[in-house]
Amino acid sequence: MSTLGSKVVAITGASSGIGAATALELAARGAAVVLGARRTDRLDALAARIRDEGGRAEVLAADVTRRADVEALVARAVDRFGRLDVLVGNAGVARTAPVADLDVDDWNAMIDVNLRGVLHGIAAALPVFRRQGRGHFVTTVSTSGLKVVPTQAVYAGTKNAVRTLLEALRQESTDGVLRTTSISPGFVRTELVDHLDDPGQRAQAQEAMATLGIGPDAVARAIAFAIEQPDDVEIGDITIRPARQG
Ligand code: NDP
């Protein structure tokens, strides 16, 4: 199924979960994918699988908190494939705790990856999109930003900040050059909550993921749907959650 033709798509946070599933889905639909994350062993294995299945993939170590890394990711797409059609700003971290715990390091980590990382992507790709006369920003935000719950204030805040950012960018770019899409997943079975520090919270979140979560391939298909629309059609927001999620 080649519904994406010759599109070139760079994906941050492509080493696991939603990013990896998106890379597989888009490559299977004909896109050339440029994979960024910090764990390059994972990226290499993913790229090898894509190439084995007849797809096109490039790999680059890219920590989204470093602007130069994200610029290099975009540059790799242009150098290797001649253009960049879509940047999927997907890299993210989640830490949960009541605000009163004052986990300032965790707040900063989420701001740096979830918000600053997306801004670095916009800074890197927007000039390329403008030069080409076409480009598409897709970001992975969250239902946490739509239905705020205790312990997720800063995580939800970063996701809502990105949602706001993309909407403003959309309104500033109505000349048809740019498309923006915010994907809001609910519970998705990935490694996201495996990184929670508190063992109790980690176990609870892992249990919720295991019993309720949908597979990352479902989110990947939603991303593919947004990308494969004709150039004059913009899918602005997609919310995708388990049917049993409250
Ligand atoms: P994973 O933990 O499986 O994936 C997170 C990805 O982000 C990894 O590839 C990781 O790669 C990457 N990442 C983390 N920090 C950095 C960094 N500094 N620079 C570059 N990459 C980084 O979780 P998910 O697949 O679930 O998460 C993907 C996105 O989806 C996130 O933005 C998350 O907030 C969002 N989301 C997830 C939901 C869920 O229920 N799973 C629900 C709603 C939104 P590496 O460590 O190799 O750098």
45, 20 contact by CB (below 8 A): no
At residue 201, the pLDDT reads 87
Give yes or no for residue 15 CB within 6 A of ligand 1: yes
Listed in sequence order, the DSSP H helices in 82-233 are: 104-110, 117-132, 153-172, 199-212, 216-227
Model confidence over 57-87: pLDDT tens digits? 999 999 999 999 999 999 999 999 999 999 9
Catalytic residue among 137, 155, 165, 193: 155
Give yes or no for residue 130 CB within 6 A of ligand 1: no
At residue 198, the pLDDT reads 87
Complex ipTM over 0.95: yes
Model confidence over 155-194: pLDDT tens digits? 999 999 999 999 999 999 999 999 999 999 999 999 999 9
CA of 223 to the centre of ligand 1 (A): 15
At residue 1, the pLDDT reads 56
Bridge partner list, 32? 8, 56
Give yes or no for residue 60 CB within 6 A of ligand 1: no
**Cβ neighbours, 10 Å, residue 163:** 19
Question: CA 119 to CA 129: how far, in whole Å?
Answer: 15
> Residues of the chain whose pLDDT is less than 70?
1
- Is 199 labeled as catalytic in the residue annotation? no
To the question of pTM greater than 0.95 for the whole model, the response is yes
Question: CA 31 to CA 9: how far, in whole Å?
Answer: 7
CA of 138 to the centre of ligand 1 (A): 14
Q: For each of the domains in the chain, give its residue range(s) and CATH number, in order of start.
A: 4-236 (3.40.50.720)
Task: State which amino acid sits at residue 29.
Answer: R
Ligand 1 probe mutation, 188, 211, 212, most atoms within 8 A of CB: 188
Q: How far from 23 is each of 44, 55, 102, CA to CA, in Å? A: 12, 10, 36
Give yes or no for residue 196 CB within 6 A of ligand 1: no
